[in-house]
Each structure stands twice: as structure tokens, then as C-alpha cells.
Structure 1
């Protein structure tokens, strides 16, 4: 379910997968850092028909594309199924994961070990969340947006350009 990504055969391609429902400042910070480490960074937006999302896959892709438009080596694509299969299909051997030290460590370690069993050629690179974003999650963001009418408060968690879409989705 992903489109083809044109890259040079010698490119170091990394893939950062997630639901990005919606993209947060924490996600964006990981994307910016990872884009400096690799020739091409593909943002893989997971499509899971069983998971109830706030935004449709296309809306999530549009929002991620909008906030990463200034990063020339970042591409945004959809995928379904296993993330390691998606990474492999792109000719990459590197999966980037953002990790919040207090909440993600055990789960991400378990996922890395499972991915290694599924495809030992895929390496997982963890980027520690900046302390400013260590508490930010999409679920926390949805709670705050549902309660607060103050866009300046939301700008501490999500790119300002995402706020109108977030408000619209919460109203519908």
C-alpha cells in the first residue's frame, strides 16, 4: 500500500514509522534530527483498519507533508502490514524510532527484538526525545485539545499549522 520512492542506489535510507495521529512537536523533532543523519528519510504512516484514528490516513499524510515541506530529503508514504516489511520494500535497512525515556523504553525494546526476529537485516536506531517533548503523546494532545480553547497552549505540543485541522476533527 505504499508508493514507490525514487532514491539513488547508494543512498542511506532510513524509515520512521508511526500513526502520526496527529503529528506532534516530538515527532517533528525526531524527523528533523533523523533527516540530518540519513540521505533519505521516509515517514511511513501506518494504516490500520482496526484502529480508530482521529484523522484519516490521507489527512495524516497531508499534515506530515505540510510540516516537513522544508526538509528536502523527507518523503511521506502509507504502509500497512509489518513495519519491517515496509522498510525492506524501500531498500532500507534502518528503522528510526523516537523514544521517550519514561514511557517508551520497555515497549520499544520489545518491538525491536520482535523486528529483529522478523528481519535480522533491519537495524533499529533510537533517537531519545528531547526533554521538552518527553511527555508529549498524541493521546495527551487530544485530551488537551478537547478541553482547552487556547491555541497557544496547544502550540507547546503540536505544530501551529496542525491546530486548525485538530480543532476541526474534534468538532466533528
Structure 2
């Protein structure tokens, strides 16, 4: 993504409707540890509509990942809705490396919760954090 843009903003959405495994601060800390030292990458968070956040940041595009066809329908609907809300914010879809197309947070959390080793799927700091969460 850094090859495409001068600056990349990695933004964690704060959603009161969801019960994430990690708190907002924990997720931000994990992101800072994995990507925070990369030049031109900024880690932050937002609450509300993604297009409003993008507009406030003067971001012309939102990057979304597509692992498989199963992701496409939801992401396509979101992209079209975001375009209706603000046509100036474009959605760009990128595919992961083949090694990661089958991964989802649900699968990784399930493996970790059952005591499995997730270190080949996620950064070391995330694997350690998952281990701490599930061994309490």
C-alpha cells in the first residue's frame, strides 16, 4: 500500500455495537508495535462513519482487503454506500498474499483459544497478546 500512497493511515474503528477481544487501546498498541515505526504510516482511531473520517483526514481513498469471494459482497455494498455518502472518497480493493487468503480473525482467535500456535499467522506481539488473553 505504501507504494501507492505518500501516507497511509491505519485507523481502528470504535464500534459500541461490537465486543472485541482487545480493547481499543490494546488494538492501537498492537498496531503501533507492528506498523508504527514504518515511515509514512500513521496509526489512529475513529468513531462514526468511515467516509466522515476519510473526509476529515483529507484522504482520497479507503483501502479494503478482499481475501475471497465471500468478502466481496459485503465490501462491495459498503463501497457503494460510502460512494453515495461521499463520492470524493474512493474505495480501493487489494488482495492479500496467497498465504493469508484463508485467514480471518475468527479462525485465529479460535485456534488461540484452544491453545494452538498462531505465530505463523500473526505478528509475534499479537500471538503473545492472544496467548495472554486466553490463558487468564
After TM superposition, the score normalised by the length of structure 2 is: 0.94
Q: Is the 8 A contact 1:35 1:41 kept in 2?
A: yes
SS at match of 2:77: helix
- Corresponding residue for residue 90 of structure 2: 123
Give 1:5-154 correspondences, 5 Å limit.
34-150=1-117, 154=118
Higher relative contact order, structure no. (Cα contacts within 8 Å, ≥ 6 residues apart): 1
Deviates more, 1:100-109 or 1:37-46: 100-109
In the TM superposition, residue 168 of structure 1 has moved relative to its aligned partner by 1.3
- Corresponding residue for residue 124 of structure 2: 160
Q: Is the 8 A contact 2:36 2:42 kept in 1?
A: no
Structure 1 stretches (4+) deviating beyond 2 angstroms?
A: none
Distance (whole Å) between structure 2 residues aligned to residue 35 and residue 135 of structure 1: 24
In the TM superposition, residue 149 of structure 1 has moved relative to its aligned partner by 4.0
How big is each residue's C-alpha offset from its partner over 1:101-124, in whole Å with a ceiling of 9 and x where there is no partner? 232111111110110111111101
Deviates more, 1:155-164 or 1:47-56: 155-164
CA RMSD in angstroms, aligned pairs only: 1.2
Distance (whole Å) between structure 1 residues aligned to residue 38 and residue 119 of structure 2: 20
How big is each residue's C-alpha offset from its partner over 1:80-117, in whole Å with a ceiling of 9 and x where there is no partner? 10011101100111100111123211111111011011
Q: Structure 1: give runs of 5+ residues left out of the alignment.
A: 1-33
After TM superposition, the score normalised by the length of structure 1 is: 0.75
In the TM superposition, residue 155 of structure 1 has moved relative to its aligned partner by 1.8
Q: Is the 8 A contact 1:101 1:129 kept in 2?
A: no
Q: Structure 2: give runs of 5+ residues left out of the alignment.
A: none
